[in-house]
Structure 1
């Protein structure tokens, strides 16, 4: 059965060589914009491409503001600080996510708490979140606190796994009832929507990533998205070393970060953003072909967009029947030059997060033994 899949993927990408999991796609416009930034000599964190990218990104998302940053991890770290997360606070997130989600919490000297995911969306499960809060949380005049640890629960961070949107309306409703801010980790979800609303725009703040393996890339890169003027100004201030605006004086009024996106990277980001709709169309065509293949070859459930959503299908995924089949699948495809990979190791199973509070993680543990990511590049060899 694996020979059929290998043939299908090779035919799609029209190559006999190694097929990567997700590679960037560059055209002449990308080179031209980067060379223009070089010619301008403004290659660091000041330049017209930074401003242009922020404006165009916010416009595309239908958001008030975008603050461009060096990477998605830095964006999430800053967003959590801007949202009010402080030392020894707790932040609720999911166990099935890239390690940067939890690392950004700890960079704020806060403590991650891991609550189970939903089997359909692969993201934070509203039912599990409701159950966790009912059992462990209590409100008082100073906020919402964990009855077991005594720490304040300062934020909830849902992550849109592989670009598939979480059930945000339910998560937001729960968060509002407990008076907890939502910071949306949309690192993988640029272009994904719930109804007509873009991911990254549901919470108080959202974050995106433009790493080399993302739907669009500028080598690194990330962004904070918000509709709140004060939060946007705070984020931009913190990420430019908290420097007070002045023509020549260097005065800094708090501890900030050197996290702003360089103009050289922003030039590439602008070019990539102009091509985003084409990338998304290509990726949806590939996802539809995968879905049809796995529907006929009934030996794995292809992960499709949740009802009412439009996913960017950043990484296509299939869920096998068990771990044995997953491991065989990985072995056969990788030996044939088709790059596939399992899901990340669950974060509370990593040594630095073993002591963090969790719920039963039933769905996450079931999924992590079965998920395989498939080649998902928005390109064909002749494109």
Structure 2
């Protein structure tokens, strides 16, 4: 058999058969989702006012260990706000991975800043700290406690690592780069709820971080995101800005800053509260599925199942196959065979530097990202596959 056939056979030992098309990541609602959303409808508190928003924020802060969590409309809004609060300004550069969902780059562009695109490493698919260090040593300089790109003259005002598919990346290595070059870290933990790096929740290492609760995430609020920070003043400003910067008053509408209508609706937060109550069970189901996949693919030549690094715990948001070098040409036949067998699979995103709006951005050598783009396949990953 060829590689596509071998991969399909391995998947069949793990996944259900004959039940119709199996999505890549279908949400599960095993708890109080219906009761909480019905309460919102019964009380008419479905929009940005209601008890579930505050409760969801408290649950997120408690689970992640952050001092504050601010719930917003989606993960992109969360990252946009996090970058603003970290001090990113129009005309700055922000270091982002080339291998990320486009929202990471878009959030930078919303501010009028420029993505500075960096390469990834094979082990986690995350930013390569050593390669970034070498690159910045050539093109950057620190002046008065801030980093500048010598080639463009622009300030490099943030570094945004993204934990790809919930796999914790090399946080220590990137923190060392941030310290060396005086660049604040803004973590894109959109895919990493329930993932831990050396015992600490992802999103807790930078100045501020963002989460996402889109419909295909580990837990969902339908659409939604959150900002995490330990800075109380920053959290208060975040809450103010994301609620249109309206000054508190019983009836008057006075806004003292340019604000954003980013507040999460209560009905979405109600879903989030119910999901948080079952998060440990959802994570356990996803880990069980990942372990089954790891066993199934252990002896399949030409492919490896992506696993968490030592001292880390992944949520295994998306279970991921990485084809070995030399098997790039098999990717599309694998996608055709698996989708044809009613198992949804998909390739990696197009690398950011190959998108037309970001192709002229400054960047490192991107050889690893370009290679991985041709070799990464996501396979069905929902918690409901093995049951919650």
Question: TM class, shorter-chain normalised?
Answer: over 0.9
State the match for 2:348 in structure 1. Answer: 343
State the match for 1:370 in structure 2. Answer: 375
Q: TM-score, normalised by structure 1?
A: 0.97
Q: Please, which runs of 5 or more residues in structure 2 have no aligned partner?
A: none
State the match for 2:304 in structure 1. Answer: 301
Residue range with higher mean Cα deviation, 187-196 or 290-299: 290-299
Displacement of 1:196: 0.9
Q: Is this contact kept in 1: 2:14–2:293, CA < 8 A?
A: no
Quick one: distance in 1 between partners of 2:97 and 2:179? 19
Query: SS of 2:343's equivalent?
Result: coil
Which of 167, 171, 181 is the matching residue for 1:168? 171
State the match for 1:25 in structure 2. Answer: 28
State the match for 2:189 in structure 1. Answer: 186
State the match for 2:328 in structure 1. Answer: 323
Residue range with higher mean Cα deviation, 155-164 or 173-182: 173-182
State the match for 2:71 in structure 1. Answer: 68
Q: TM-score, normalised by structure 2?
A: 0.96
Answering whether residue 16 of structure 2 is matched by residue 14 of structure 1, we say: yes
Displacement of 1:190: 0.6
Q: Is this contact kept in 2: 1:12–1:380, CA < 8 A?
A: no
State the match for 2:122 in structure 1. Answer: 119
Quick one: distance in 2 between partners of 1:305 and 1:28? 28
**Number of residues of Structure 1 aligned to a counterpart in Structure 2:** 383
Q: Is this contact kept in 1: 2:132–2:364, CA < 8 A?
A: no
Q: Is this contact kept in 2: 1:315–1:373, CA < 8 A?
A: yes
Which of 76, 84, 88 is the matching residue for 2:87? 84
Displacement of 1:3: 5.0
Answering whether residue 267 of structure 2 is matched by residue 264 of structure 1, we say: yes
Which of 23, 43, 47 is the matching residue for 1:44? 47
Answering whether residue 157 of structure 2 is matched by residue 157 of structure 1, we say: no
Shift in CA distance, 318/248, structure 1 to aligned 2, threshold 3 Å: same
Deviations 1:57-113 (A, max 9, x none): 100001100000000000000000000001101000110000000000000110000
Give the ranges of 4+ consecutive aligned residues of structure 1 lying more than 6 Å apart after TM superposition. none
Q: Is this contact kept in 2: 1:91–1:113, CA < 8 A?
A: yes
Q: Is this contact kept in 2: 1:6–1:338, CA < 8 A?
A: no
Query: SS of 2:154's equivalent?
Result: coil
Q: Is this contact kept in 2: 1:14–1:381, CA < 8 A?
A: no
Displacement of 1:323: 2.0
Query: SS of 1:358's equivalent?
Result: coil
Q: Please, which runs of 5 or more residues in structure 1 have no aligned partner?
A: none
Shift in CA distance, 166/266, structure 1 to aligned 2, threshold 3 Å: same
Displacement of 1:221: 0.4
Which of 331, 340, 354 is the matching residue for 2:359? 354
Displacement of 1:42: 1.1
State the match for 1:230 in structure 2. Answer: 233
State the match for 1:243 in structure 2. Answer: 246
Displacement of 1:125: 0.9
Question: Considering only aligned residues, what root-mean-square deviation do their CA atoms show, in Å?
Answer: 1.4
Quick one: distance in 2 between partners of 1:211 and 1:202? 23
State the match for 2:213 in structure 1. Answer: 210
